[in-house]
Structure 1
């Protein structure tokens, strides 16, 4: 499979042009066509010599993925299904900050980006891992999701959250290479403060990101305030217990100014007990962390149930009354398979790439 140009850093592309005997400025021209002008093909690159365009077309792909399906509309949440070069699929979700009124555009757009095909961490409530882990995404495939979402929507993405398919910290090096492309002036030029990486709790990588110079934000997929609850739904907790995780978060706070976010999916009779809310409040207050409460988003093939709205609000109120910044997030995109991995799972099952998960 030919390499994709969207995976090249500025230095790597400059080295390629030098190897081909091209002048140094060709790398700058190429980067401008790829990331700023969002060219659809090498033929669009009108200020490059025809011979160079032809050579690029025979040695490289321009993009690492192609659009397969789009669900949603311009004034709502949109889900993109992208086909990769090896025939696998990956998802991204574009979320407006607030529902647009009367067809008007939202003032801010957040893209949820995937980092792997499938997931090996097997969180019990998530569709991403239902068919297991296939492979890590390459930098071109990670950064390419942002580029393609902007091309397809015609809109600038303001924020990125690495909360899609996969465990981002299990693909740490490729993820950071993609972030270099995304944040660089020659790339998508999106400030690191507008990027959030979510992890289920990989302790060594939390500390590694804490030592990284960029001001990237961190969110923890917590979903349980005690080992007893986390052990039921988060296999990662077998390796790194809550004590290990919270020690790593203390390390983060000692090295970073960016406040932590604790993500908590509320699942009926699993983690919605109000005692969990009280324990969570104590942790969040000590860490000066914000808490996002998310009522469970139904996934075909899984047994979990969303709590009642009354229960969700009672859980939130315990946090707020303890002085914790807490939001109860009514999910967007429930009608377009927006839970992580659902659309990809359907497509790959239909094509016979994977077998339908056993319920």
Structure 2
């Protein structure tokens, strides 16, 4: 089976080169070209044609083409639909902050987690993304804007810990000094709370930022919002989060979507404060996007600010997420869903 060059570490490429009777120095020539966003082995410079032909017999470069691009007129946010080799489409978002460019990539085509407030999961899971396809989203956007992206967020469509092996391999490749060379501390991964994988990931002891989608402090209500809650309780999630911070010394982010009349009351804020008391954590409050397939509504700004104030008064670090690209998309996954239909 042919290997996608985009999903090889530098050492793996050297092994591949050796396996076809070539000197390993060729890997140092080839590797940087792969991560410039080239579309074929023929585009690799500085190597003879005979080597290119050998590589074609055992490897390929997966395609990640921009199917559609949306640019905000309000801020600098750009949202992309990326088409893969099999014509599946994933959603990718580029955001500009004071600290640099940040990209939000997808880890699956669709999602099977079933969270009620998320558009990505409405049609279920189509398939997992391979490491090269996750890398491909970054390369396609970098090629489009002509700039290096220094921060990566795995918060697009899909649950990364439901695609754990491919996700971990992606991290290793994206960190390679000879390639994209993105530091682990500049990478954030979001999970809805697949507890065994949180422990596994903690044991890797990578200084990656972990965000956990919590959204509720009441077990029964969380199970209603997030079916994954039936498998892993809130207590189990908190225990695994504490383990992660102990192993990695990294602060956990808890994502909390504010839904009008569902989880945005004073009592909800107080319960959340009590749950997280004493933890090395930050709460990211996200006024929920309106989704036409659901009847959830976004609370007004005053209500969101009051919720935030209660947390701060209880010594819980929190912020209300800044809404970006408001004019070009509602909820995560809606662009892809509309394009597929």
TM-score (norm 1): 0.89
Partner of 1:240: 232
User: Please, which of 115, 128, 140 is the counterpart of residue 123 of structure 1?
Assistant: 115
Deviation at 1:274, TM superposition (A): 1.5
Q: Hey, what does 1:34 align to over in structure 2?
A: 34
Question: Structure 1, unaligned stretches of length 5 or more?
Answer: 98-105, 350-359
Q: Mapping of 1:1-359 within 5 angstroms?
A: 3-35=3-35, 37-57=36-56, 60-72=59-71, 76-97=76-97, 106-337=98-329, 339-349=331-341
Which stretch of structure 1 is more off in the superposition, 152-161 or 189-198?
Answer: 152-161
- Quote the Cα distance in structure 2 between the aligned partners of 1:58 and 1:335: 46
Whole-angstrom CA distance in 1 between matches of 2:40 and 2:268: 53
User: Is the contact between residue 117 and residue 136 of structure 1 (CA under 8 Å) also seen in structure 2?
Assistant: yes
Structure 1 residue 247: deviation in Å? 1.4
Tell me if the contact between 2:33 and 2:45 (Cα under 8 Å) persists in the aligned partners: no
SS for the counterpart of 1:201 is coil
How far the C-alpha of 1:285 sits from its partner, in A, is 3.0
C-alpha separation between the residues in 1 aligned to 2:99 and 2:63? 29
- Is this contact kept in 2: 1:259–1:288, CA < 8 A? yes
Listed as ranges, the gaps of 5+ residues in structure 2 are: none
Total equivalences in the alignment:
340
Q: 1:32·1:186 contact (CA, 8 Å) conserved in 2?
A: yes
- Give yes or no for contact 2:205–2:247 (8 Å, CA) kept in 1: no
Instruction: Measure the CA separation in 1 of the matches of 2:14 and 2:178.
Output: 12
Instruction: Name the CA distance, whole Å, in 2 between partners of 1:29 and 1:233.
Output: 50
Q: How many angstroms does 1:339 deviate by?
A: 2.4
Quick one: distance in 2 between partners of 1:235 and 1:19? 47
Q: Within 2, Cα distance between the matches of 1:182 and 1:168?
A: 15
Counterpart Cα distance in 2 of 1:51 and 1:256? 46
| Separation in 1, partners of 2:214, 2:11 | 38
CA shift at 1:346, angstroms?
1.2
Which residue of the partner structure matches residue 352 of structure 1?
none
TM-score calculated relative to the size of structure 2 = 0.94
Partner Cα distance (1:11, 1:288) in 2: 36
Q: State the 1:38 CA deviation.
A: 3.8
Match of 1:355 in 2: none
Tell me the CA shift for residue 333 of structure 1. 1.5
Residue 338 and residue 160 in structure 1: after superposition, are their counterparts in 2 closer, same or farther (change >3 A)?
farther
Alpha-carbon contact 2:9-2:176 (below 8 Å) kept: no
**Alpha-carbon distance in 2 for matches of 1:25, 1:50:** 16
Distance 1:107-1:210 versus aligned 2 partners, 3 A rule: closer
Distance 1:171 1:248 in 2: 19
Contact 1:6–1:64 (8 Å) recurs in 2? no
Q: Is the 8 A contact 1:290 1:325 kept in 2?
A: yes
CA contact (8 A) 1:10 1:27 kept: yes
Q: Which string of whole-angstrom CA distances, capped at 9 and with x for unpartnered residues, describes residues 89-129 of structure 1?
A: 111111112xxxxxxxx541111111111111100010111
Q: Which has the larger displacement, 17-26 or 199-208? A: 17-26
Q: How many Å apart are 1:20 and its aligned residue?
A: 2.0
Q: Secondary structure at the match of 1:128?
A: helix
**What is the SS of the residue equivalent to 1:219?**
strand
